Structure 1
């Protein structure tokens, strides 16, 4: 396959006069990825092998779980996705939810729940989940961006609320802003109260005007899951925003997924994208929602964090958070708070108790049996003396002289 990458472009919209929301732009098509020509790739996405998907599918496939893709829409004409879609709403004037001029939302949806298609190896990590398309932006060219149809916090917030009202258990938001916005914050809290887990991008440095590390929203809100991206060596690169908000990481490079209405395409062959990493975490969360429906958003988030792969089990860092998600481990782990790592919902972190330093008391203590010991010593000496005296007496006593004839 010829090399294909996701075009790094900023899609921005003003919040008041300062904040910017960023999302990746349309996938750039190479010779084998023509959005006007259907092409299938007969190989399984590499990320599924790294995430041990087939073992996870023995326990859950996302059946019965709705995942909302709050994004640029989802292309219903893609054969992988048509059967997966349910409902849909657009918050962009004059556009429906089941279309995608950018290709971004369609790629995300394919990672989550692409259905098998003859001649293609592409399949979603939660292949039986349903996809609820929620369109919150359209930005295919400069004219459309200047017309105010790029991603805006008010539309993203409205999309999150709508997804929660429609019963989506998982809400994928592959967008971010460095500004804490009350509408976004309230929408995440609202969704959580309704039983939905919001999974969002930790931020991409290459498509953000603010390239500094630090919190990105809605990912940084405490109820949400903030996702960083790893490369093919499972390392978080500099393209992924770092910060205390990062919860977990997932594959974000060499993403084989759905491409417009045209089948399949390999995206991001070089740089990692948190947009795509977010999709795989959303799919993992969908598996958890099927297997553990009673645990709710906080329980699903805890499973993702507690079972993530990391070098030190009891610590996180600002690049990968608690580590690389592990779907099968998340589906099988005991999360009773006994393991090291993040604190389980409803539990409190046990305080670390440092034992006092041991000290040696050198104060003299009288021996209550000293007298007895002294007497015993003297009697022993007297006994020994007597024995010596007897022995010497026997040696020195003169013998009797024998008479002679």
Structure 2
């Protein structure tokens, strides 16, 4: 599979974080559009609109086959993000009272979302059916626990201390577990290994919750530095990268040995503020959105196999992911693009090629048969400067303006 630079986005809202002297930043979604079936009209937070089309990613993920086995019923998925707007009709019956760790005028239960990012992610996971709309989540009977950890990503938010913050993300993971989440979605990443984050992931894993986190997006189109992103790279977390509409890896995503699996990250038809539906990230590939679909797949597994551990759910997704060589992973897409239906059907007898089973002893021959292929060697001339900076990337808050979409959106550009 080849990496490729996608066409420039029509409108991009880059989400990068600042040096150590400033708080991490977040972004407000740029305007976007509904699919061509609705006339390609622009999405606005103050006007409710629905698309009769179903999310393209659900077809690619064979959602109907997975739903014959599980729909996420009884599983709580925490969205550690910008909050979730429970005023969206798709989400009103799906959202529990959660927690707001930011303040800044938000609902104490985390059910407001100024940025719109958390609402979009929640819709991908568990949007309910609404008359006149084809939008539904991959785990349509799962329950969302909103954990609001940032308000916005701009200079003012950083000055006020309401932008993304490592300590607040860690506290958000803890709050998610305390709220009963079996799956914790973290569509954010940082290149800095933070003890508080590491320990929060460890506590979540010990409590029986799977942390699903973004493997990271690039800061700019000229940024070619790869490397671990956190919390995705911690033991116990499942690191997710994004692929384009053809399931090819994206030049916009961070690659490296921390990448576990991939999922669709472009042409995301999902919930938009309290305003119904919107097509997001049409010209970019976003690991935020890929992460949400993997969290939803994990929720299906948690329903079907409630007695299994987070490591077993992660193994199901990894070992059944689509890849050319069953015994090999690479640094572009990890073990491949997730296949929820296959993960639900998988029987772990210890003989499958690929990642080692968490419950079966791996002998020397099996270990030798599984190898990692590094396909993206590169030298980063700015490595020293990058290591000196601390920044967060909300993995994929580019909500791109898609004007005049025909038949199906063909865009695929990055999110920051």
Among residues 160, 168, 183, which one is paired with 2:196 in the alignment? 183
1:29 to partner: Cα distance: 3.4
Pair 1:27–1:288, CA change in 2 (3 A): farther
Range 141-150 or range 268-277, more displaced: 141-150
Q: Does 1:8 align with 2:13?
A: yes
Pair 1:202–1:134, CA change in 2 (3 A): same
Q: Does 1:52 align with 2:62?
A: yes
Partner of 1:64: 74
Helix, strand or coil at the partner of 1:352:
helix
Helix, strand or coil at the partner of 2:42:
coil
1:26 to partner: Cα distance: 1.8
Counterpart contact for 1:11–1:25, Cα < 8 Å: no
Counterpart contact for 1:249–1:325, Cα < 8 Å: yes
Counterpart contact for 1:22–1:207, Cα < 8 Å: no
Which has the higher relative contact order, 1 or 2, with Cα contacts under 8 A spaced 6 or more apart?
A: 2
Counterparts of 1:335 and 1:5, CA distance in 2: 46
1:343 to partner: Cα distance: 0.5
Pair 1:245–1:115, CA change in 2 (3 A): same
Counterpart contact for 1:335–1:344, Cα < 8 Å: yes
Pair 1:101–1:118, CA change in 2 (3 A): same
Pair 1:14–1:140, CA change in 2 (3 A): closer
Partner of 2:99: 89
Partner of 2:254: 241
Question: Which residues of 2 match residues 271-286 of structure 1 at below 5 A?
Answer: 271-286=284-299
Helix, strand or coil at the partner of 2:329:
coil
Counterpart contact for 2:25–2:158, Cα < 8 Å: no
Counterpart contact for 1:13–1:150, Cα < 8 Å: no
Counterparts of 2:196 and 2:159, CA distance in 1: 23
Helix, strand or coil at the partner of 1:80:
coil
Aligned length: 349
1:25 to partner: Cα distance: 4.3
1:298 to partner: Cα distance: 0.7
Counterpart contact for 1:6–1:268, Cα < 8 Å: no
Partner of 1:79: 89
Deviations 1:200-228 (A, max 9, x none): 00001146997510000000001000000
Counterparts of 1:22 and 1:323, CA distance in 2: 30
Q: Which runs of 5+ in 1 are unaligned?
A: 354-405
Question: Which residues of 2 match residues 1-400 of structure 1 at below 5 A?
Answer: 7-12=12-17, 17=21, 25-30=28-33, 31-94=41-104, 95-96=106-107, 97-139=110-152, 141-206=154-219, 212-352=225-365
Counterpart contact for 1:14–1:152, Cα < 8 Å: no
Counterpart contact for 2:182–2:209, Cα < 8 Å: yes
Counterparts of 1:55 and 1:13, CA distance in 2: 43
Helix, strand or coil at the partner of 2:293:
helix
Helix, strand or coil at the partner of 1:70:
strand
Pair 1:164–1:341, CA change in 2 (3 A): same
Helix, strand or coil at the partner of 1:347:
coil
Counterparts of 1:133 and 1:210, CA distance in 2: 32
Counterpart contact for 2:315–2:355, Cα < 8 Å: yes
Partner of 1:393: none
1:10 to partner: Cα distance: 2.4
Counterpart contact for 1:169–1:196, Cα < 8 Å: yes
Counterpart contact for 1:5–1:269, Cα < 8 Å: no
Helix, strand or coil at the partner of 1:77:
coil
Partner of 2:396: none
RMSD: 2.1
Helix, strand or coil at the partner of 2:93:
helix
Pair 1:217–1:151, CA change in 2 (3 A): same
Q: Which runs of 5+ in 2 are unaligned?
A: 1-7, 34-40, 367-416
Q: TM-score w.r.t. structure 2 length? A: 0.80
Counterparts of 2:224 and 2:314, CA distance in 1: 27
Helix, strand or coil at the partner of 1:222:
coil
